[in-house]
Amino acid sequence: MQFLQDLIDFYETLSPESLPRLAEFYAPDARFKDPFNDVQGLPAIIGIFRHMYAQVDAPRFHVLERFVGDDQAMLLWEFSWQPRSAWGGGGRWSFRGSTHLRLTAGRVSEHRDYWDPGEELLLKLPILGCLWRGFRRLLAA
């Protein structure tokens, strides 16, 4: 599916300057949901990515696998970025996740990201990581 390959290429080369191009791929009333956001409409989706660029340096998506159906697709990806000093600094950070895309009339109508913020993010933070590890030990079998 050429549309999906074009979307993957877009995400793998995403930059603040290319964000308006989301309109080429997403329906105007598309929904986006991840562990921290649940928004509807292209302006709100663009706002999430603008926020990402304001919070971290050099974010990058790399799609590892894709699974395609008639009107939907799943992408497995790795996201990496350079944290700012407030995050604890030092080297690139990364985590893996997946995206479920629903396609309507040749555009993304729903984008749902699945990843574990506790495992992939909170454990890496200095103070929250310590608290999260303790909480996990309490709940572990």
User: How far is 91 from 82, CA to CA, in rounded Å?
Assistant: 6
Looking at residue 26, what is its pLDDT?
Answer: 98
Does the pLDDT of residue 62 top 90, yes or no? yes
Give the model's pLDDT for residue 138: 76
Q: Domain for residue 123, yes or no?
A: no
- Which pLDDT value is given to residue 135? 66
- Write out the residue range of the structural domain in which residue 62 sits: 2-115
Distance CA 41, CA 48 (A): 11
* Dihedral, CA of residue 31, residue 37, residue 43 and residue 46, to nearest 10: -110
Closest among 30, 27, 49, 54 to 40, alpha carbons compared: 30
Residue 134 falls within a domain, yes or no?
A: no
Q: Note whether residue 122 is domain-resident.
A: no
The closest of 107, 110, 101 to 45, measured between CA atoms, is: 110
- Asked whether residue 136 is assigned to any structural domain, the reply reads no
Percent of the chain exceeding pLDDT 90 equals: 67
Q: What is the CATH number of the domain that holds 85?
A: 3.10.450.50
Residue 90: the pLDDT is 65
Comparison of pLDDT for 89 and 141, the residue scoring more: 141
Instruction: Report yes or no on 39 lying in a domain.
Output: yes
The pTM is what? 0.82
